[in-house]
Amino acid sequence: MRGAELREVAPADIRRVASGSDAASIVNALTIDVEDYFQVSALAPYIPRGQWDAMPCRVERNVDVILSLLAQTGSRATFFTLGWIAERYPAVVRRIVDAGHELASHGYGHQRASDQSPEHFLDDIRKAKTILEDLGGCAVVGYRAPSFSIGHRNLWALDCIQEAGYRYSSSIYPVKHDHYGMPDAPRFPFESRPGLTEIPITTTRAFGRNFPGGGGGFFRLLPYAASRWLIGRVNRIDRRPAIFYMHPWEVDPDQPRVTEADAKSRFRHYINLHRTVPRLRRLLTDFRWDRVDRVFLSNP
């Protein structure tokens, strides 16, 4: 399988929920990567995969916190959910779907696409899709690779995603980062394969480089005003919807601490966890949010 040239989708091809030139009328896409604290890639060296079932799981409680915040603000979101989580906590999947949110795939076992062979990767994303569709009772058309682990060295993964029957992927982050990133990728949705749309995490362009504006650890590390400015700039200057991501464990300051982790990993994982809920509440009221399929696909 070979990577093809990446072609940006023309703005007219992208469905906007809201019309008009006012940036405040643009509806952005909110996404949640449903995994638990012990499944984070940065902590993988300290928590063997074989110990996952023995770890105290917090995902049900944390997803409920997010669902409550979304309900309070009338927002909708896309939940990229691990098949491993769905198998063990099917009620979480049902609550997501019953609340009107989009159920999407984060693969089965949170293995980076770049660490798998094409055959194993295809099996993983097919397995997750089947589990989620059976439990959710709905079609699953979206996929996100763990840790945005698709780049120039494994563009074959896009062929697998298409073969598995997904309509879109949100697996490329056009920034330079020590764990992921494809800084020369298009900043906005592009056709990665015929019939397969790639929706990159939001960045803003300044001083000749892309700056991350789509959430994750930067949402906790930087003051909230930075995230508000970055998303607002994309709406106002680029006239495009933003796509934002976070994890359920980020709303949980009381989660168990992995003390064996190195200082850098502990800093990244635990910084400002206590600030996430109030910041998320502000984010949900400062901008308009909906599901990825309704914001970016012409026929969701």
pLDDT of 43 > 60? The answer is yes
In a domain, 136, yes or no: yes
Q: Which domain holds residue 136?
A: 30-296
pLDDT of the residue at 133: 98
State mean pLDDT over 26-48.
96
CA angle 203, 204, 205 (to 5 degrees): 120
In a domain, 157, yes or no: yes
In a domain, 245, yes or no: yes
Query: Structurally, how many domains does the chain consist of?
Result: 1
pLDDT of the residue at 182: 86
Is residue 246 within 8 A of residue 214, CB to CB? The reply is no
- Expressed in percent and rounded to 5, the helix, strand and coil fractions of the chain are 45, 15, 40
In a domain, 133, yes or no: yes
pLDDT of the residue at 13: 45
Output the domain CATH number for residue 37. Answer: 3.20.20.370
How far, in Å, are 39, 42, 155, 223, 266 from residue 263 at the CA level?
18, 11, 32, 22, 5
In a domain, 7, yes or no: no
Helix (H, G, I), strand (E, B) or coil at 271: coil
CA angle 61, 219, 87 (to 5 degrees): 35
Confidence of residue 7 (pLDDT cuts 50, 70, 90): low
In a domain, 23, yes or no: no
pLDDT of 14 > 70? The answer is no
| pLDDT tens column, 116-154 | 999 999 999 999 999 999 999 999 999 999 999 999 999
pLDDT of 2 > 80? The answer is no
In a domain, 208, yes or no: yes
Average pLDDT, the chain: 91
Confidence of residue 179 (pLDDT cuts 50, 70, 90): low
- Cα 83 from Cα 124, distance rounded (Å): 9
- pTM, rounded to two decimals: 0.93
In a domain, 174, yes or no: yes
What percent of the chain is predicted at pLDDT more than 70?
91
Taking Cα atoms as reference points, which of 279, 261, 278 lies closest to residue 218?
A: 279
